[in-house]
Structures are given as C-alpha cells and as structure tokens.
C-alpha cells in the first residue's frame, strides 16, 4: 500500500534532479530497491504509472535494480549466503545470530530526460 | 536528444532528515516508542492500560495516527493524558514530517514518554522512521500464530514484540511456542512480552521495560 507514497517520493526526487539540470520531460528513472524494504515491485510499477498518467511525464520508465542483503556470522567469521525471500537471522551452520547488511536500499540512481527548449516549439 | 544525470539520492531522505531532527530533539529527555500492529490488535487498549499505571510517575503524551476519526485520541484524553490525533486521510502510515507538525500543534511541554501509535498496518509503517527510540510490534493471539513469518519486516525490526489478549489463549488456536521460535529466528535480540489489558497480565513487566529504557536513555546521554 505504501508503494504509492514511495512512487510519489521517487517522482519528486526525479523532478528535482531534472529541474536542477535545466528542466525537461522525464524519460526514465533508475531506482535501486533492497530486498528488505518490503516494497512490492508490481505495485510500485502500477503506482508509478498511475501517478504520472495525468502529468507531462506520462510514460516515463521506472527501471528497478534489486539489491540483496548480505549476511555475516561473527561466530563462524564468514559470509553466509541468504536464501531468496528468507528473513531468518540465525546462521544456517552454527545457529548464532547473523549480522545483516544492506537490503534496505531505496535510492534514485539516475534520471534520463528530454531537455526543455530543444524543440523550439513555443 | 535525451540527457542522463546521476542523482544518487535516498528516496526517503526527506523523511529521514525529519526523523533525525526529531531524534535530536528527544535526545536524553523523552523516550519515544512507535507502536505498530494490524488494526484491532489492541494498541490503544494497551496504551490506556499503560497510562493508567504510569501517569502518576511519568509525564506522558500520545500521538495517534489513523485514517479517520478522533476516537483513539479521545480515549486517551478521557484518562487525562494529552493526545494529538493525526488524520492521514487515507495514507497507510505516519511519516516523520507529520509527527513534527503534530508536535508543533500539540504543545505537550516536557515529557518523559511520548507514545506514537501508528496507523493500523503491519507493512507500510515499517519503512518510515519517526525519530523513535524503538519500534514495538503488537500481535494479538486472535490474529493467528503464523504472522511473524508472514510479516517479517516489522517483527525483525521491532525491539519489542508485545503479544496481546493472552487471556484468550484458552479459546483460540495459537501456538505460543511456534510464535516464540519465529520471533527468535527473525529477531534474536528482541524482547517478547505476553500481556492482557483485560486481566492486567504482563503490564507491570511492560511498564518496567519502558522505565528501564527511559533510564538507560538518560544515563547514556
């Protein structure tokens, strides 16, 4: 459900970036989303489309890169692979608590846009 | 011709910046728990029982988040506790800017504990830092014993999980041990409390936990 407010923040961040570079129409946004953010990719896509529909940026792509979390076991002093979708925070080998790093990313990496004024249609 | 520019900005940075300011403002003085659960788990009822036990000793206030109605804030005001109701008008979670605005309007004064009761929802509030000291996840025994694994993000991040309505355990199918195993797996360092606001079970322990955390926060400062 919060995908709509996340999409709105992504859009705001992207618009700010475009405005900071002379303004223009948004073509694509590259977003990094960690697997522990509890963001549902399909819902984020729907929210993005719905949000932009009535705007000048309608049709702009949202390209999402997924990032996995890294797990480390202090007792084994080793990185431990993380099964897809699992939230278990205990070492599969020794049962001790794992340190989990990353997976909570939610960053706009870059924006692609068509610059204003290039077409001279005003 | 299109142009691509690097942005590299956190999507929630506006919220995170607001949360940082709130955390600085509460530093060393006020303990701020952020209560998160599904609707109907008993957040407001736990708060009613809590303020009745702590009101004489501690200066308390509550920020309530709901989509509609002042009902929750009214319930706490009826007990003599200052309460401010944030109406999200449809949004499924509170964000730090709403909490900041609520504080500006509420004029609570100096507080020992500021409870934030989030919008009833096990998913969305998890992503939004409100400047709290810790998140509290509530799970009522009527919701079923599979919920920690089904909603892992909140149970992994909450420093405290409060099981509520435990007086109903004899009447519902709820495998307490299975829930303990799920919680220990998701969150090995988290506290788990068993409470019933109706019978008073576990409330002394819950209030002691709050007082302990308040003392720890102040002595660390």
Q: What pLDDT was estimated at residue B20?
A: 97
In the block, tokens 């420093």 appear at B159
- pTM value surpassing 0.90: no
CB contacts of B137 in chain A (<8 Å) are none
CA distance B202 to chain A (A): 27
Q: How would you class A108 by CB atoms within 10 Å of its CB: exposed for 0-12, middle for 13-18, buried for 19 or more?
A: buried
Instruction: For residue B85, give every residue at least 6 positions away whose Cβ sits within 8 Å of its Cβ, in sequence order, or none.
Output: B64, B66, B69, B70, B72, B73
Q: Would you call A5 and B91 a contact, using CB atoms and an 8 Å cutoff?
A: yes
Tell whether A7 lies on the interface with B, counting CB pairs under 8 A.
Answer: no
H helical segments located in B36-187: 43-54, 71-77, 96-106, 147-150, 152-157, 176-186
Sheet with B83-87, edge to edge strand ranges: B83-87, B60-66, B113-117, B33-36, B134-140, B160-164, B191-194
Interface TM-score (ipTM) > 0.85: no
What pLDDT, in 10s, does the model give residues B37-72? 999 999 999 999 999 999 989 999 999 999 999 999
For the domain that residue A21 is a member of, what is the CATH number?
3.30.2320.50
What pLDDT, in 10s, does the model give residues B66-116? 999 999 999 999 999 999 999 998 888 999 999 999 999 999 999 999 999
CA distance A70 to chain B (A): 15
Residue contacts between A and B (CB atoms, under 8 Å): 98
| Residue A13 counted as domain residue | yes
Q: How would you class B171 by CB atoms within 10 Å of its CB: exposed for 0-12, middle for 13-18, buried for 19 or more?
A: exposed
pLDDT above 80: residue A118: no
Domain assignment of residue A24, given as a range: 3-68+103-115
CA distance B179 to chain A (A): 14
Domains of chain B and any CATH numbers = 13-213 (3.40.50.300)
Nearest chain A residue to B149 by CA distance is: A87
Q: Which of A39, A106, A114 sits opposite B10 (nearest CB)?
A: A106
Return the structure tokens found at B205.
């322990």
User: Cβ–Cβ contacts within 10 Å for residue A110, how many?
Assistant: 16
Q: Would you call A13 and B149 a contact, using CB atoms and an 8 Å cutoff?
A: no
The Cα–Cα gap between B5 and A114 comes to 11
How many distinct structural domains can be found in chain A?
A: 1
CB contacts of B187 in chain A (<8 Å) are 89
Residues of chain B with pLDDT > 70: what percent? 100
| Residue A46 counted as domain residue | yes
| Residue A96 counted as domain residue | no
* 3-class state of residue B221 by DSSP: coil
Residues paired with residue B9 on neighbouring β-strands, in sequence order: A108
CB contacts of B7 in chain A (<8 Å) are 13-14, 17, 108-111
């Amino acid at each position: 459900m919060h995908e709509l407010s996340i999409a709105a923040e992504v859009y705001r961040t992207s618009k700010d970036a475009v405005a900071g570079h002379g303004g223009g129409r948004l073509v694509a946004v590259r977003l990094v989303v960690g697997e522990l953010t509890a963001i549902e990719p399909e819902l984020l896509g729907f929210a993005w489309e719905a949000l932009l529909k009535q705007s000048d940026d309608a049709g702009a792509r949202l390209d999402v890169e997924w990032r996995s979390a890294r797990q480390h076991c202090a007792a084994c002093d080793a990185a431990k692979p993380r099964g897809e979708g699992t939230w278990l925070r205990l070492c599969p080998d020794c049962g001790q608590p794992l340190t989990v790093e990353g997976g909570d990313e939610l960053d706009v990496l870059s924006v692609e846009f068509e610059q204003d004024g290039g077409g001279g249609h005003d | 011709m299109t142009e691509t520019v690097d942005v590299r900005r956190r999507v929630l940075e506006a919220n995170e910046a607001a949360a940082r300011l709130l955390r600085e403002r509460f530093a060393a003085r006020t303990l701020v728990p952020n209560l998160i659960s599904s609707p109907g788990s008993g957040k407001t009822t736990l708060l009613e029982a809590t303020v009745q036990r702590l009101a004489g000793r501690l200066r308390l206030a509550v920020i309530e988040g709901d989509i509609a109605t002042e009902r929750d804030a009214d319930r706490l005001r009826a007990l003599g506790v200052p309460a401010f109701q944030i109406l999200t008008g449809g949004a499924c979670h509170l964000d730090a800017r709403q909490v900041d605005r609520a504080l500006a309007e509420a004029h609570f004064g100096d507080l020992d504990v500021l409870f934030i009761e989030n919008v009833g929802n096990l998913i969305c509030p998890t992503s939004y830092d409100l400047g709290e000291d810790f998140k509290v996840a509530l799970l009522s025994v009527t919701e079923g014993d599979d919920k920690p694994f089904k909603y892992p993000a909140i149970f992994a991040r909450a420093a405290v999980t409060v099981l509520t309505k435990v007086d109903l355990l004899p009447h519902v199918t709820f495998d307490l041990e299975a829930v303990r195993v799920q919680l220990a797996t998701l969150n090995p360092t988290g506290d788990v409390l068993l409470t019933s606001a109706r019978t008073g079970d576990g409330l002394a322990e819950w209030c002691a936990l709050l007082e302990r955390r308040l003392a720890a926060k102040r002595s660390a400062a």
